[in-house]
Structure 1
Amino acid sequence: MRRTFILIIIVLQVLNSTAQTNDQEQIRKFYDLALTQGKSYDWLNYLSNQIGGRLSGSVQAEQAVNYTRAELDSLGLDRVWLQPVMVPKWVRGTPEFAYLESKPGYTSNIPICALGGSVATPPGGVKAEVVEVQSLEELETLGQERIKGKIVFFNRPMDPRLLNTFQAYGGAVDQRSSGAAQAARYGAVGVIVRSMNLRLDDYPHTGSTNYGDLPEKDRIPAAAISTNGAEFLSTTLKLNPEVQFYFKLNCKQLEDVQSYNVIGEIRGSTKPEEIMVVGGHLDSWDLGDGAHDDGAGCVQSMEVLRLLKKSGYKPKRTIRVVLFMNEENGLRGGRKYAAEAEQKGEKHVFALESDAGGFTPRGFGFDSSDADFEKIAGWESLFEPYLSDHFIRGGGGADIRPLKKEGMVLAGLRPDSQRYFAHHHAQNDTFEHVNRRELELGAAAMTSLIYLADKYELGSIGN
């Protein structure tokens, strides 16, 4: 009996060793293909330099839909299609303008940009004294008496002590997303928000602001100010609290228009009803060309399916790439995809999103059950040779979150984040700031994770 037990243990060890060797070889193949025959960088070059910024509802967004659909068609996938979705159409208009007036006739120009969804200023612009605050709560402390008729300047920086820069972003972004709505309730005539950027530079960073249920007639214009501009304004206010700030925005919210999610799939060989998604968002802000946010995630996701086919791997489950529309100012694409999947009774077991830039991949974050994460943790050694073995709890992305159900696994690629917010939503989010090798390493890491999740049937929905 003892000999039989020992023999079983030995056989299991041999089988596990053989499986790991096969996984190592398959993953090595993905990396070799990505680094020598990769297509992601070329795709990103076209999206960035031939199409440019792809704000929802724009001509460029439509061009991006047509381009990526054609490229997916060329890969010989089992199916490629467009999923209609109605999206908001906000336009920036002519460039914004602002200055600080220390005394009549003495002005300094300040770099600003309208926040997405902001209303325009009156035709002559807005000029008023400025009250600087560090938080939404401070508005209540100051009250209407000290805010009415003034421009509120939100100047809470991202916390530089936090190595997780997304955590630093989360700790500061409420002033951008809700500042205008809250300041309007106290009679402010406009809002200026410090850009979500850890670096001191002259690039204002846009992003959505949300007025909530505030009546349209009560909405006030909102703009981001560059970090250098914020430092200058704050210092000047300390010296002279009565300085005047002027800014002019020309933006406008138009009627919703029809756009599309772009979808392609490789049908599963043995469990086609179980669906695994990999994706990013095709729309971007309009100041740069959206190379890091999120052109990189889109082309990496497309590359995952290309690498699977090129390597000869035949997935058991259906692998689907989804390029979501309207993540930046509405999340309509992610919600539409999830709603239609629910309506059709589709069984999604795993979803991976890349929406943190095309920088060097460090690992993945996971939203999963304890049992699934234990399985995932066992794969870290396979990613260690590629320095992408930092696996943590907590992951996914905005577009795939509406898909979440009990037993499903959500994952997010985690690239090195230290440079990301120097480009996020700004004019310098451009193709020349993406390193080809870093982008390709991310695509290879994503393909490897998709391969393992398919082979070992990650996601208890499918078990």
Structure 2
Amino acid sequence: MKKLALFLVVFCGLTQVQAQTTKDSLQLRNFYDLSLLNGQSYQWLDALSNDIGARLSGSAGAEKAVQWAKAELEAIGLDKVWLQPVMVPKWERGAPEKAWIDGPDGNIDVPVCALGGSIATAADGITAPVIEVQGLDDLAKYGEDQIKGKIVFYNRPMQADLIQTFSAYGGCVDQRYSGAREAAKYGAVGVIVRSMNLRMDDLPHTGAMSYGDLPNEQRIPAAAISTNGAALLSKMLKKDKDTRFYLKMNCQNYEDVPSFNVIGEITGSEKPDEIMVVGGHLDSWDLGDGSHDDGAGVVQSMEVLRLMKAANYKPKHSIRVVLFMNEENGLRGGNKYAEVATEKGERHVFALESDAGGFTPRGFSFDADAANFEQIQSWIPLFKPYLIHYFELGGSGADIGPLKGNGTVLAGLRPDSQRYFDHHHASNDTFDAVNKRELELGAATMTSLVYLMDTYGVKPAPITNEAELKD
């Protein structure tokens, strides 16, 4: 009898597990069907990209995007929609930049663009000799004697043999962000930086740069040069080390201006005080229309809540979509959201960000403890029918990063990244570069993960010290 009783307990347990797995599988299938057959993400992206366009923080486009997003979230019929004030930087590019290489055979025009936050050149531009370096570490090697009065040309490329292209980007982006600040210390008069791009083309890629605490009078202009332009300049410098470069930029920095994060919520049916966030950043750079970076993440995040309502799914936890302002050149929106959450004593248990483009989803990376990651890995079979297998520990996203701590599980959608940096921060980051089906697959994939996190919950953070044991 004891053996029979044990058998029945095990059998019933397995039956319940199988029933729940079947239920989860059917729910995921429903989300994918709704997204692929009757999705809204692509139409939203069309409006955001083509009707509004570029959305650099502090610009008219960014403020139009705020009002558009608020209206669209209200139209979904969420329980709450609101704007969260945040002060953001304002920088304008001004008239198009001009640059040429002054060589022995005359001037050769090359494509450049100002880096975000850079100062302008003098009204008539600057012309100076060029010194080519492979990174920040090279500056000390050459010293002030060889750098003073010159334009520093940072020509370290993204490492092409790294399959993880974000690792390749991370390996050289310091020369863009800190290049001007460091070169100015050696008396450079300007910097030009090889674009963060694995492809050889004529498109310069902008991005944020910082002078740190460098005094205003010591700041120098900073521009990106296309990969083809960088290759040509390097070739000409090898032929003639006295080759000169002309650069003219008209950009300007202003005082901070008010803007907003846009937030919508479905209030939880069982645990309304436990919050799960899904989001992307509403701002974009000014060269294209920001469809991949990060229009895709914005509309996918909005679609998560719309799909849940379309599927008549009532979440246990409160599910928020947060469209962050100013990720590109300040992270003010992400920091403000976390700051307000702390002030209000809100408990965030999970956050998911989409900020890696609208390409085919491959899976997720997670910032989670062992117990939660083990649970997450148990869901991989549910995603395999959709060819989604990448579930790894790693980074999540810049805007949700400030929410880290107190056991909050963070995740980032990981699409195929091989073509992402062809468009990142460049003029070809436009609506026509986004595939409708790939975008919709990403939205359904995000919805599926949020559903599973909501259904099974986040495991409590492990007790790590005696003080916590006593509490």
Same fold (TM over 0.5): yes
Identity fraction in percent:
64
Amino acid at match of 1:46: A
Is residue 111–residue 226 contact of structure 1 (8 Å, CA) maintained in 2?
Answer: yes
> Aligned equivalents of 2:93 and 2:257: distance in 1?
16
Aligned partner of residue 318 in structure 2, secondary structure = strand
In 1: Cα distance, 2:286 partner to 2:5 partner: 68
Corresponding position of 2:100: 99
1:319 counterpart SS class: strand
Deviations 1:78-107, CA, capped at 9 Å, x for gaps: 00000000000000000000000113x710
1:10 alignment counterpart:
11
Matched, 1:187 2:183: no
> Counterpart of 2:27 in 1: which secondary structure?
helix
Give the whole-Å Cα distance in 2 for the aligned partners of 1:458 and 1:315.
14
Q: Report the Cα distance in structure 1 between the residues aligned to 2:381 and 2:333, rounded to whole angstroms.
A: 35
- The alignment status of 1:358 with 2:348, answered yes or no, reads no
Aligned to 2:314: 314
What is the match of residue 135 of structure 2?
135
Q: Is the 8 A contact 2:371 2:459 kept in 1?
A: no
Tell whether the 8 Å contact from 1:204 to 1:426 is kept in structure 2 after alignment. Answer: yes
Structure 1 residue 462: Cα displacement: 12
| Superposed displacement of residue 387, structure 1 | 1.0
Bigger mean CA offset, 387-396 vs 300-309:
387-396
The answer to whether the 8 Å contact 1:87/1:257 transfers is yes
Could you tell me which residue of structure 2 aligns to residue 45 of structure 1? Answer: 46
1:241 aligned onto 2:241: yes
Native 8 Å contact 2:176 2:207 kept in 1: yes
1:78–1:265: 8 Å Cα contact kept in structure 2? Answer: yes
Deviation string, structure 1 residues 299-331 (Cα, Å, up to 9, x no partner): 000000000000011000000000000000000
Aligned partners of 1:56, 1:321: CA distance in 2, in Å? 19
Distance 1:457 1:279 in 2: 19
Name the CA distance, whole Å, in 1 between partners of 2:460 and 2:134.
45
Render the CA deviation track for 1:409-432: whole Å, top value 9, x for unaligned. 000000000000000000000000
SS for the counterpart of 1:100 is: strand
- Residues of 1 paired with 2:256 and 2:47: CA distance? 27
Residue in 2 that maps onto 1:124: 124
Aligned length: 462
Aligned to 1:203: 203
The whole-number CA distance in structure 2 between the counterparts of 1:232 and 1:9 is: 70
Q: Per the alignment, in what secondary structure is the counterpart of residue 460 of structure 1?
A: coil
Q: Give structure 1 stretches of 5+ with no counterpart.
A: none
CA displacement at 1:388 relative to structure 2: 1.5
The superposition leaves residues 192-224 of structure 1 with CA deviations (integer Å, 9 ceiling, x where unpaired) of 000000000000000011111100110000000
Partner of 1:21: 22
Q: Tell me the secondary structure at the aligned position of residue 289 of structure 1.
A: coil
Q: What letter corresponds to residue 16 of structure 2 in structure 1?
A: L
Q: Is the contact made by 1:349 and 1:460 (CA closer than 8 Å) also made in structure 2?
A: no
Q: Aligned pair in 2 of structure 1 residues 349, 438: CA closer, same or farther (>3 Å)?
A: same
Distance 1:141 1:406 in 2: 44
The runs of 5 or more residues in structure 2 that have no matched partner are 464-471
Q: Distance in 2 between matches of 1:214 and 1:316?
A: 50
Code of the aligned partner of 1:189: V
Assess if the C-alpha contact under 8 Å between 1:100 and 1:246 holds in 2: yes
CA offset at residue 459 of structure 1? 4.5
How far apart, CA to CA, are the structure 2 residues paired with 1:340 and 1:388?
A: 35
Give the drift of 1:458: 2.3
- When normalised by structure 1's length, the TM-score is 0.99
Structure 2 residue 56 is matched with structure 1 residue 60: no
1:332 is matched with: 332
Deviations 1:276-310 (A, max 9, x none): 00000000000000000000000000000000000
| In 1, Cα distance between equivalents of 2:461 and 2:265 | 20
Structure 1 position 2, deviation (Å): 2.5
